[in-house]
Structure 1
Amino acid sequence: MIEHTPPGASNPQQAELARFTIGNLLEIQRHLQSLADLKQAVTIFSNKGNSFIVTRLLAVDADTQQLLFACSADEHANRQLLASERNVLISAPAGIKMQFICGPAEEVDYQGRRALAMAVPERLIRLQRREFFRINTPPIKPVWCRLPDPPGRLLPLFDISLGGLSLTLAADQHDWLHDGEQLDKVQIELPETGLLQIGLEILHVMPVLGAIGHEHYRAGCVFVGMTLAQETMVQRYITHLERERRALVR
């Protein structure tokens, strides 16, 4: 997980993150309100990252400066969160990673139901990673990414762009990839295009709550060492997907 930049930090990565850190209260509230409006899944890591819940932001109370979250169905996880003094919250609306740190949570009543309340954070990190047009790959005909080590591990692509791709991991596969990890050479068989062999850097691995409540993970990756020939191959595949999508619409 990315941590907030401490005052006077000299680490280059932390200095880079400072560019994406928002400290204006009204702007923070605006971004958090968008999470509530979109009903976007939010992961709350508690107890120094040893436990987490996947929930949704119900409301941003500007009067009390509180965030209200739905309780987890897992009562043990709720109790762990309520006992935690410092919590890291992560979400990715429209693929843009958002992270912030909150203090202790308390259980409250919100519109007649139990909820979890935390103070609005002082800072928020919002990483814009959408430099390239992305297109989803067809779920009924998955495109598979073969990981180099250990051999035999396959993960389906969720989307792809000229800059990178996202991979979908089942709940029991979340430890296959880690933030900041670099893979020297993965193999992706792009339909109507050919075999792409390329390096990947894992930007983040995040829990995602599916439409019917099933939890899985999404790994956001960027291409490493892409050649012009490989870029042409990816562009050709994206064009193929666009052509197929337009044909379905017609």
Structure 2
Amino acid sequence: MQPFIADTDTENWHDFEVGSRREIIALLRAISDKKQDVRAAARDGAEVYTTAILDVDGDTDTVLIDRPLDPEHERRLLSGEVSFETSLDKIRIFFNADQLHATLHDGKPALKMTVPASLIRLQRREYYRMATPLTNPVRVSIPLPPELGDGVGVFPLADISVGGIAILDNQFALGDAIGHDYTECRIELPDLGNVTVGLQVRNMLDMTLLNNRPNRRLGCQFTDMGRGAAAAVQRYITKLERERNARINGIG
């Protein structure tokens, strides 16, 4: 069951998955200690309820959740799978429960669940995206497999982050490429030279431009990236941000 993440920029939610039980328990306890509000949605997703984590017990592998005041809300949360969303130090946290059960906490009604096997910690700061220039765009060269005609496809970038890039495929040369891996892709970074990376297509969006021409945006994750390439991408992002700030301040 995928967490209820409405934002279109979080399609790669599984890239932020935390699977360490010790870390999961520590994060849930921190959320409880800081008394963070937690949003809960039942399987039907019709309504979202605000609750809180009351206690996390690693010995019994349970998490206690505050019980909704409305009996109907409680009934819905007890009916099956539940998704939770909260935040910790401005980082969004998502986790699921296969089933909640009624229980008591300090003599008061509460709900309990098993410590989740994984959760999502959406650290956007590590994957900060910068839009690339529309004029004189940055381009990536992607070696095409035989089923796509061999050769090399050259595509303009829409944005870039240290985690990946978004490319525009207005000729639909890559087809339905979600999940496909491409090796030895070369990104031409202005003033910084070329970097070679592996790319995996993670999401796709068809759109119509203002001139009524169709286009396709492909979100790609870096899969094979050396330290030198990562450092060059980070320097380029810093350069773009500096240029943007200069324009905003009327300097550039």
TM-score, normalised via structure 1 length: 0.48
Q: Which has the greater radius of gyration?
A: 2
